[in-house]
Amino acid sequence: MAELEAARASHGEKAETVAAVHEKFRKAKMAIATEYRGLSVGKMTQLRREIRDVAGEYQVIKNTLVRRALKDTAYGELERMLEGPNGWVFAYDDPVLLSKTLVKFVDANEKMMIKGAMFEGELMDPARVKVLSQMPSKPELQATLLALIQGPATYLLRLIQEPGSRVVRLLDAAAKGKAE
């Protein structure tokens, strides 16, 4: 009897975990599957911190639970990556910034590798994740756009101020001429 209750409790916990993982996939703008064999606890903690700093999350989740959680999400094609131990990266804000952070970490730690990702309904191999990481991030694009928007305004301001500046320079030259 106690075994049956333990099995029911275990099944309930698994269902809750599957629902939580399903929610992560639903909220994420991008999901990346990684292999983390051989990473130390310290490195894993560092990775989690770096991912969290760019509005993401890194979690090791059993493949059976992920398989169930992928149902009815846009990430169904990731099921083909469910072999061996997997770590999952969820991007909740800027996928480019997150992929930059992850690729930088993977380059510095040869024991970790990117298996693939899903972004905007497209399955991506590791090479495409690396290409995505080389694109400008959202803050970089915003800064470029702001500079483009401010450029004409700055030029217009200079044009408007120029006649007044000419008058000042002319008066200054005339004053210097009289002084001599």
Evaluate whether 114 touches 104 at the Cβ level (below 8 Å).
no
Q: How far apart are CA 16 and CA 125, in angstroms?
A: 30
Predicted TM-score of the model (pTM): 0.71
Evaluate whether 112 touches 35 at the Cβ level (below 8 Å).
yes
Q: What is the pLDDT of residues 40-95, one digit of tens each?
A: 999 999 999 999 999 999 999 999 999 989 887 888 888 888 888 899 999 998 89
| CA-wise closest residue to 33 among 100, 114, 120, 122 | 114
> Who contacts 59 (Cβ-Cβ below 8 Å, separation ≥6)?
24, 87, 88, 90
Superfamily of domain 2-135: Ribosomal protein L10, N-terminal RNA-binding domain (3.30.70.1730)
3-state secondary structure 47-90: HHHHHHHCCEEEEECCHHHHHHHHCCCCCHHHHHHCCCCCEEEE
| CA-wise closest residue to 94 among 60, 119, 113 | 119
Quote the pLDDT of residue 10: 56
Give the residue extent of every domain in the chain.
Answer: 2-135, 136-180
Query: Which is more confidently placed, 46 or 158?
Result: 46
